């Protein structure tokens, strides 16, 4: 853990050291300006005091900039600032020892050079952090604060360009290699500041617009992708340049540089892959994700899980969860899964593409293993019904979702017969000399659209009302539980046989299943929101 010294204490000690150094030089008899400078630069101790004084002035200047443009920093801003500072110092120390010979005079020049660029870089990234905070949590910020941040960003960009021009004019004769090493940080600061300025301009334009700008997030995503990709690509070339300067002799610095190069290259590759996936998911959202009808919205009767606002129009994902079109597009910029259940949308898209491009069906071994896997979880469901749904969805997750939604029948029925669809219901009539009368409800097969019919079966005194439903996703007409039983005994079912009592209470399983699904949905929403907030807090 780095040693922390309060800034007032550090400034006081630096001032005392400088005063002592200057006092010793002035105490020499017949001292002149040239001899004083020679004495100051000739001693390593005096030179260290001078360098420390320059760093102290930079710290005071940075504090002045902070109080003028930012005020009190938040905890996460201060933590990010310190982390970036130490990361920058370590990386530049490695760079100096890798690219140049460790001579004292050269080290001082490079140290002063990178100190100036470090101030510009840190305040540019700090401005981005403050902009993200204002954009997310304080949308109604006073215009004065926005003007301060914009002015600081313009000053940083101007200073960066002036510093680049100064390096060209001073080190022009030192060769292209040295100019590339000197100006790499100017290159990264330029694109980082440009990114923040463009995002800020888009934000202010959206605030001034009277209507909702749906493409705001899309333009911000393209801006971030372009600038970040350019910076990462430039960093790769910069590290390769340093490795070439080092020569072919393997050293410890080679290993460090190559590891860092691999890390940067992996980040660039992942960003490009993420962009391609984003384009796949958003290029044809109207065809990939159907619009939700008004009847479905009324049946859903819930808010958008992303923005928590009412939905008048929405898009339905393959997992049957629905969201606003704009919210879904903004979500896909950072994630490629459903916000609620985390079902991968890329896998589903690839499955659809493979199905469209080929007429081949899954292998028998693969299908049997999937059927066995699902049947082990829900052993009460008929195997043929699971197999039929898997052939339709070609996805285990979607089939499980259909099972939980009740499309394949009830998972609590312990008396499903896979080979015979006839269920015998026996009702005892105690008033007819204990004679048993059996009534049978038969499940038939049809290919028509969803219909429903009711059949009243009168068996002496009790009356049993059954209802048969047809699901649109399957050609099999399912026989749901008996919804009501009326008899001369009133609501008391104690006179019925145990089998009849089980059927009479069968509707409780549907209520339990609905409650379970609602609780599962609530927990998944809370988990997705928590992950989103944790991801935002961890972003630099």
pLDDT (0 to 100) of residue 454: 36
**What residues does each domain of the chain span?**
70-209, 285-349, 361-405, 422-505, 506-540
State mean pLDDT over 135-157: 89
**Least confident interval from 234-243, 274-283, 494-503:** 494-503
Is the pLDDT confidence value at 268 over 60? yes
Compute the mean pLDDT over every residue in the chain, rounded to the nearest whole number: 74
In which region does residue 369 sit, left (phi positive, over 0), alpha (psi from -120 to 50) or beta (all else)?
Answer: alpha
Per residue in 422-449, pLDDT (tens digit) is 444 333 444 444 444 343 333 333 333 3
What distance in Å separates the CA atoms of residue 14 and residue 302, rounded to the nearest whole number? Answer: 63
3 state DSSP class of 234: helix
Is the CB of residue 500 less than 8 Å from the CB of residue 426? yes
pLDDT band for position 363 (50/70/90)? low
Answer whether residue 273 shows pLDDT above 60. Answer: yes
Average pLDDT estimate for 54-75: 90
Fold of 361-405: Helicase, Ruva Protein; domain 3 (1.10.8)
pLDDT at 410: 64
Residue 362 DSSP class: P
Average pLDDT of the residues in 268-277: 91
Question: Could you tell me how far CA 372 lies from the centroid of its own chain?
Answer: 34
Chain center to CA of 466: 49
In this predicted model, which residue has the larger pLDDT, 198 or 466?
A: 198
Q: What is the mean pLDDT of residues 508-515?
A: 56
Average the pLDDT over 367-385 and give the result.
Answer: 82
How high is the pLDDT of residue 451?
35
Residue 8 has pLDDT above 80, yes or no: yes
Q: Phi and psi of 210, rounded to 5°?
A: -80, -25
147-159: per-residue pLDDT in tens?
A: 999 999 999 999 9
Statement: residue 237 has pLDDT above 50: yes
pLDDT at residue 163 in the model: 92
CATH homologous superfamily of 285-349 equals: Zinc/RING finger domain, C3HC4 (zinc finger) (3.30.40.10)
Strand, coil or helix: 291: strand
What is the percent of the chain with per-residue pLDDT over 70, rounded to a whole number? 72
| Selected residue with higher pLDDT from 19 and 517 | 19
Query: What is the DSSP track for 100-144?
Result: S---HHHHHHHHHHHHHHHHHHHHHHHHHHHHHHHHHH-TT--HH
For residue 422, what is the enclosing H or E element?
Answer: strand 422-429
- What pLDDT is stored for residue 212 in this prediction? 67
540's CB contacts (< 8 A; 6+ apart) are: 80, 83, 84, 125
State the pLDDT at residue 283.
Answer: 73
Give the separation between CA 35 and CA 40, rounded to whole angstroms: 8
Which whole number is the average pLDDT over 442-468? 37
Residue 367 banded pLDDT, cuts 50, 70, 90: confident
- Reported pTM: 0.60
As a whole number of angstroms, the distance between CA 538 and CA 540 comes to 6
Alpha-carbon distance 309 to 501, whole Å?
A: 45
- Determine the 3-state secondary structure of 423 from DSSP: strand
The answer to whether the CB of 323 falls within 8 A of the CB of 306 is: yes
């Amino acid at each position: 853990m780095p040693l922390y010294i309060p800034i007032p204490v550090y400034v006081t000690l630096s001032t005392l050291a400088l005063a002592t150094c200057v006092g010793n030089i002035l105490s020499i008899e017949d001292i002149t300006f040239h001899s004083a400078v020679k004495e100051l630069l000739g001693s390593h101790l005096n030179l260290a005091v001078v360098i420390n004084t320059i760093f102290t002035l930079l710290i005071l200047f940075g504090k002045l900039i902070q109080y003028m443009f930012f005020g009190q920093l938040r905890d996460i801003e201060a933590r990010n600032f310190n982390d970036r500072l130490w990361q920058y110092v370590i990386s530049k120390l490695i760079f100096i020892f890798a690219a140049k010979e460790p001579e004292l005079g050269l080290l001082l020049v490079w140290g002063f050079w990178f100190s100036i660029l470090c101030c510009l870089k840190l305040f540019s990234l700090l401005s981005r952090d403050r902009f993200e905070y204002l954009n997310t949590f304080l949308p109604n910020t006073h215009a004065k604060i926005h003007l301060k941040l914009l002015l600081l960003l313009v000053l940083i960009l101007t200073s960066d360009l002036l510093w680049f021009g100064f390096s060209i004019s001073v080190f022009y004769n030192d060769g292209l290699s040295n100019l590339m090493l000197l100006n790499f940080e100017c290159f990264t600061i330029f694109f980082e500041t440009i990114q923040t300025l463009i995002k800020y301009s888009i934000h202010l334009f959206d605030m001034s617009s009277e209507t909702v700008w749906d493409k705001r997030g899309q333009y911000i995503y393209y801006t971030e992708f372009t600038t970040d990709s350019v910076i990462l690509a430039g960093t790769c070339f910069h590290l390769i340049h340093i490795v070439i300067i080092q020569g072919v002799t393997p050293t410890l610095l080679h290993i460090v540089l190559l590891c860092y190069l691999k890390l940067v290259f992996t980040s660039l590759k992942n960003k490009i892959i993420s962009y391609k996936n984003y384009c796949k998911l958003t290029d044809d959202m109207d065809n990939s994700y159907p619009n939700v009808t008004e009847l479905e919205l009324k049946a859903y009767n819930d808010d958008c899980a992303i923005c928590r606002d009412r939905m008048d129009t929405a898009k339905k994902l393959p997992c049957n969860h629905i969201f606003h079109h704009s919210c879904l597009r903004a979500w896909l910029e950072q994630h490629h899964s459903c916000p609620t259940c985390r079902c991968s949308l890329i896998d589903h898209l690839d499955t659809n593409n493979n199905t469209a491009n080929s007429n081949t069906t899954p292998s028998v071994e693969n299908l049997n293993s999937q059927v066995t896997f699902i049947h082990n979880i829900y052993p009460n469901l008929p195997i043929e019904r699971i197999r039929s749904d898997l052939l339709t969805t070609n996805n285990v997750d979607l089939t499980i979702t259909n099972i939980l939604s009740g499309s394949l029948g009830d998972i609590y029925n312990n008396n499903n017969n896979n080979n015979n669809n006839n269920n015998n219901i026996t009702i005892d009539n105690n008033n007819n000399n204990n004679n048993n009368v059996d009534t049978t409800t038969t499940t038939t097969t049809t290919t028509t659209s969803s219909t429903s019919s009711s059949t009243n079966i009168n068996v002496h005194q009790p009356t049993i009302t059954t209802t048969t439903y047809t699901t649109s996703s399957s050609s099999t007409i399912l026989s749901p539980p008996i919804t009501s039983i009326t008899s001369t005994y009133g609501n008391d079912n104690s006179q019925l046989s145990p089998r009849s009592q089980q059927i009479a209470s069968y509707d409780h399983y549907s209520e339990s299943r609905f409650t379970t699904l609602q609780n599962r949905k609530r927990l998944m929403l809370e988990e997705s929101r928590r992950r989103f907030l944790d991801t935002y807090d961890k972003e630099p």
